Structure 1
Amino acid sequence: MTDEPLDRWAARRQGRLRKPGELKAITLGAGPQRAAHVDPRAPRLILEWDGFAWQALTTVKNYAEACRVLGRTLEAASIEQAETTGPITGRNPLAPGTGRHRKPRP
């Protein structure tokens, strides 16, 4: 096994790290953190990554304002949301099948 040079390892690690100045918005409200589409009128807290921890930056009235602060359009944000939480496509995962995890039929 060969050792990776330190400068190459450091560059690879730096590429994985979150960059200082990155912004994110979280929903303010009672209960657990929920997705943006669940309550688009709820106020949002804008956080900024300082390289070590998330720091509170400002609050905004709703999801649309949070998108403006983060530099996104609502259409891009909704497309991003749909890709991550969209329905399962293709074959129905609950349909009868012959997979190893299925019980044999009599």
Structure 2
Amino acid sequence: MNTTPLEPPEPADAQPAEPQPAGPQPAEPHAVDADPAPDKRSGASTGTIVWGVLILAFCAVVLQQTLAPGTVDPGMWVTGVVLGLGALLLVVAVAVILRGRR
């Protein structure tokens, strides 16, 4: 069994650390950037939106097949999801183009 201490003991003549005042500490001033770094992006990416829509569509198919099986053709679901994703991607593309013009 290893009984050596992890840290050496403090010498007996060591000065104690300065006591910290009680209460809230004033915030240290820090530099504020006028514009954020160019590699920091805000908002959701297009991939996140597309995968979210795909998962929601899959959940809708499962729910529809559970509650009313056989009432809607699965091929119609696939066609609707593809058309919906295409429209969503067009809307996102137009939004990105219009945002870039500012």
TM-score (norm 2): 0.25
Instruction: Specify which structure has the higher proportion of strand.
Output: 1
Asked which structure has the greater RCO (Cα within 8 Å, sep 6+), the reply is 2
Instruction: Specify which structure has the higher proportion of helix.
Output: 2
Q: Of the two, which has the highest radius of gyration?
A: 2
TM-score (norm 1): 0.24
